[in-house]
Amino acid sequence: MDSGFVIAVGTAVLLMMAVFIIIFVAYYQQKQANQQLALKELQEQHRRELMAATFRGQEAERRRLAEDLHDGIGTMLSVTKMSLNQLERQMNGEATMKTSLQIQKTRSMIDETMTNVRRISRDLVPTTLERFGLLAALEELADRASDGDVQVHLDCPEAITELPPPLTLMLYRIGQELVNNAIRHARARQIDIQLYCVDSEVRMSVLDDGVGFDFDAVMENKQGGLGLRNIESRLSVLDGHVTFDVAHGRGSQIHVQVRLADTVPTPVAGLA
């Protein structure tokens, strides 16, 4: 047999083996990459489910505390006020001026405490959100946060997409956190909450004229920035995104975006 033919056949066999090995290695690497991707997706799904369960637990604990405040402390304060009124009637005008003033002062303190208990209870469980929806709840939040020194304004279009309950609760909690931060930490005097839907996406922005903050420094501080990290964690559960346009010495603009699916615009009522 011609030696050249043998060499050619041997070379062809080697080439075929080399091609086979290359294909096998490429297939194995692709399979490994797919497995790694599937594992990452599974881990991400597990993380989201864990975060969602954590937030559900937090909301359940908030509800329990609100019920304890309303049914326990609130009831005790009401009974105490009734007892004080009864004591005042039993004195039949025999109380001295000093005693009468003390009773009035005590009654005023009880009323103020009852008001604070109701406020804390509403903050823990936003009943307006459950009964009337996100816009009414944000409007109530803006009204309660506004006073002589701070003005909070809610701005939204005439129609907004109907949102699922988990998303409305998340957006309300984020708005609540950002408004509180703007008042307590940034010392803002003007706060605007903007809520609108565009391109199958719900967007909420909170703008303020406060003193701002150093975002990197806050996030690096293990004892600070918990609220901001909590916002990012909440959004990650629903594939949301937050942008912090902030700097020390100027007002802040914080923008939240969440993709929507199969949503229907509904009219907005009761907004200024």
Domain boundaries, the chain: 1-125, 133-267
Query: CA 184, CA 149: separation in Å to the nearest integer?
Result: 12
Whole-structure pTM value: 0.68
Helix (H) or strand (E) holding 190: strand 190-197
Which residues are registered as beta bridge partners of 193? 154, 206
Task: Please state the φ and ψ torsions of residue 128, each to the nearest 5 degrees.
Answer: -60, -35
Residues in the chain, how many? 272
- Condensed to tens digits (0 to 9), the pLDDT of residues 91-140 reads 766 666 777 788 888 888 888 888 888 878 777 778 888 888 888 899 99
Q: What is the mean pLDDT of residues 191-195?
A: 94
Q: How confident is the model at residue 269 (pLDDT cuts 50, 70, 90)?
A: very low
Please tell me the distance from the alpha carbon of residue 122 to that of residue 156, in angstroms, as a whole number: 23
Closest to 59 measured CA to CA, from 168, 132, 138: 168
Lowest mean pLDDT among 37-41, 68-72, 187-191, 241-245: 37-41
Fold topology of 133-267: Heat Shock Protein 90 (3.30.565)
